[in-house]
Copies of this chain bind each other. A is one copy, B any other.
Amino acid sequence: MAAVTAANIGSTPSYGGDAYTARLQARVAAVFETPVSVYPVATGTAANALAIAQISPPYGGVYCYEAAHIVTDECGAPGFFSGGATLLGLPAADGKITAAQVAAAIAAALELGVHHVKPAAISLTQATEWGTVYTRAEIAAIAAVAERHALPVHMDGARFANALVHLGCSPAEATWKSGVDVLSLGATKNGALSAEAVVFFDPELAANFERRRKQSGHLWSKLRFLSAQLLAYLEPDVWLANATQANAMATALRQGLADLPGVRLLQSVDANELFVALPEAVVAGLEAQGFGFYRWPVPGVGPTGAAGVSIRLVTSYLTTRAEVDGFVAAAAQIASRS
């Protein structure tokens, strides 16, 4: 916020010709240790859909997890931006598709030839929709399949900082050194007002992307307000610190809940999300006390019943240890009464 306020002082060239945007370009290149082309936009949907439209023709197919955010939560944006490209969803209990799945799907597509969409790209969500994180080896294996078919690899990094902190490697290792070609770098969920960026690690892949952004209404005249947010965000004590805090609180939450009777952890807690099954009485009790979370069906675990109710818990950079402890204590108390 301070960064945006500062950017409001004085008058600067419009449409990205400003100093903030120039500095952002250099900053991202430094963070990722390679030349990049960076395009700030205001929403994650825009970042993902623009990136996918850039790497898939209308007659292309993009391999991804069948319940990926781009499939279920962006109102068909990738299809709209690309003029008709198809998202080809693959099943994955933990949200992570595998190199073997992708290789098999591509082989099947090639058999169908011109009747089927052309294998065009692969999109991975990192951290995934189930709070898990692809390892570098998993990404590299998928990227190797992609390379055999000359397909670009996109990473939906709405929660990239959380994944990065979990992996404990450099941003470069987490992306292009593992075979990622284009990254939707999220900032909004981890502290920004409304700022994301499309980062191309291969400048050639970014050809004419500028016009694609403009045509879709995502080029701000006062672009400095986005760039300034991202500049401020990419300070280590902001993006990494925020993600570290959020991840730590998710881990604390997991540990706190683990000891309660009837609690079952449904996914590995790699980032800042937990999916747990609790007895109906506990869930209802927490809701009654005003805690905010969603009942969230998890494949293989019914939303209600003997197996309990599955819910999603999300921590953020603003989550405190006291809040975690309070939630756990409340759950414990309700559980002990029921």
Chain B residues in 8 Å Cβ range of A50:
217
CB-based contact A76/B117 at 8 Å: yes
Q: Provide the bound-state CA to CA distance between A11 and B15, in Å.
A: 31
When C-beta atoms are compared, the residue in chain B nearest to A189 turns out to be: B221
A217-257 vs B, Cβ < 8 Å mask (1 yes, 0 no): 11111100100000000000000000000000000000000
Task: Please choose the segment from A41-49, A92-100, A126-134 that sits at the chain B interface, where 4 or more of its residues have CB less than 8 A away.
Answer: A41-49
CB-based contact B219/A218 at 8 Å: no
Chain B residues in 8 Å Cβ range of A218:
42-43, 46, 217
CB-based contact A72/B221 at 8 Å: no
CB-based contact A219/B80 at 8 Å: no
Q: Within the complex, what minimum Cβ distance (angstroms) separates A40 from chain B?
A: 11
Interface residues on A, range: 35 or more
Give the one of A41, A210, A214, A222 with max B CB within 10 A.
A214
Q: Provide the bound-state CA to CA distance between A60 and B210, in Å.
A: 12
CB-based contact A217/B112 at 8 Å: no
Tell me if A36 counts as interface (CB < 8 A to partner B).
no
Chain B residues in 8 Å Cβ range of A80:
58-59, 83-84, 215-216
CB-based contact B193/A225 at 8 Å: yes
When C-beta atoms are compared, the residue in chain B nearest to A42 turns out to be: B42
When the two chains form the complex, which single residue of B76, B85, B194, B221 contacts A225, counting CB atoms closer than 8 Å? B194
Chain B residues in 8 Å Cβ range of A8:
1, 193
Tell me if A118 counts as interface (CB < 8 A to partner B).
yes
Q: Provide the bound-state CA to CA distance between A73 and B221, in Å.
A: 12
Tell me if A322 counts as interface (CB < 8 A to partner B).
no
Number of copies of chain A assembled together:
4
Chain B residues in 8 Å Cβ range of A210:
114
When the two chains form the complex, which single residue of B1, B59, B215, B222 contacts A58, counting CB atoms closer than 8 Å? B215
Tell me if A308 counts as interface (CB < 8 A to partner B).
no
CB-based contact B112/A216 at 8 Å: no
Q: Within the complex, what minimum Cβ distance (angstroms) separates A269 from chain B?
A: 23
CB-based contact B72/A215 at 8 Å: no
CB-based contact B214/A114 at 8 Å: yes
CB-based contact A188/B221 at 8 Å: yes
Tell me if A212 counts as interface (CB < 8 A to partner B).
yes
Tell me if A4 counts as interface (CB < 8 A to partner B).
yes
Chain B residues in 8 Å Cβ range of A5:
1, 5
Q: Within the complex, what minimum Cβ distance (angstroms) separates A10 from chain B?
A: 11
Q: Within the complex, what minimum Cβ distance (angstroms) separates A233 from chain B?
A: 14
Give the one of A43, A76, A118, A214 with max B CB within 10 A.
A76
Chain B residues in 8 Å Cβ range of A318:
11
